[in-house]
Amino acid sequence: MILKYFVLCILLSHVNCEDTLEKRILLSDPAYVQQQITHLQSELQVLQATVHTQTSEISSLKQQLSQPNNGGGGSTFVRWGRTDCPAYLTELVYSGYAGGSWYSHAGAAANPLCLPPDPEWLNTTIVPDGYTGQLYGAEYESVSGHTVFGSNSHNEEVPCAVCRPKSFASTVMIPARTTCYSGWTKAYGGSLASGYYAQTAASEYICMDEDDEPVVGGADRDDNGVLFYGVKAFCGSLKCPPYEQDKFIACVVCMK
């Protein structure tokens, strides 16, 4: 049978007849076939062991990230400009809308709030035109059409999410950084934001998410309220270098 194949191979001008014939002879040898099967089974066992190890490592990591911190402490942070929290690392407490005081009120509260979408009300008497604080929504702002926030974000309402790290006890917002220092894990990064420097109301610096989005179903009009602007560096009392004049400031929220 092998001789017939060899003659046929030559007649058909196969250039690799000898190699092909050698393989056919080897494949007809039961000992050679068994050797190859044993070799393949050994390689398969190695691959299975590798997959098992990697699967166990992934499962252990997911379990570690999903377990709440039981060592005391614990913290929450607001992810400004988003309605969700970083996957695996944190859990969503609630999402809602950024709000606070009117941008030009002299008695304005400085801190913005993350307002829930399902308010519950006090059983109190409403006093019209009384001595009260006032609460408004928040908007992204730009100057002459230029903004560090997302495209077409001007005058759009700002969402927010309150997040709780699952396996971290501390959080910190670091201005002028896009990465965390060694030993810390990044929750999210973006642009430092505050009120406009010449407006009356005080404001706080917050970290607006780099993938910020508008409130779904928002009014998409210039209602004002709390206004968020990008923050630029001004040299003088601010050391330059390392800072640079008129550069917008980044920010990152880190966990440990």
pLDDT in tens, 14-29: 445 555 545 555 567 7
- Render 221-237 in DSSP notation, one character per residue: S---SEEEEE-B--BTT
pLDDT at 72: 45
Residue 222's pLDDT band, with cuts at 50, 70 and 90, is confident
pLDDT at 178: 94
Question: Which helix (DSSP H) or strand (DSSP E) does residue 48 occupy?
Answer: helix 30-66
The rounded distance, in Å, linking the Cα atoms of 6 and 9 is: 5
pLDDT in tens, 81-131: 999 999 888 999 999 999 999 889 988 899 999 999 999 988 887 777 677
The letter for the amino acid at 142 is S
Phi, psi of 44 (to 5 degrees): -65, -40
Average pLDDT over residues 226-240: 92
Angle at CA of residue 84, ends 83 and 89, nearest 5°: 155
- Local structure of 52: helix, strand or coil: helix
The rounded distance, in Å, linking the Cα atoms of 36 and 19 is: 18
- The winner for highest mean pLDDT among 3-12, 33-42, 43-52, 82-91 is 82-91
- Contact present, 249 and 231 (Cβ < 8 Å): yes
- Contact present, 119 and 155 (Cβ < 8 Å): no
pLDDT in tens, 57-76: 787 666 655 555 554 447 89
pLDDT at 209: 93
pLDDT at 208: 94
Spell out the alpha helix ranges (H) of 72-209: none
pLDDT at 219 over 70: no
Provide the strand spans (E) within the chain. 77-80, 90-100, 113-115, 136-140, 159-165, 171-175, 185-194, 206-209, 226-230, 250-255
Average pLDDT over residues 182-204: 93
Q: Which residues contact 169 (CB under 8 A, 6 or more apart)?
A: 69, 71, 72, 73, 74, 75, 256
Write down the domain spans for the chain.
Answer: 2-66
pLDDT at 5: 47
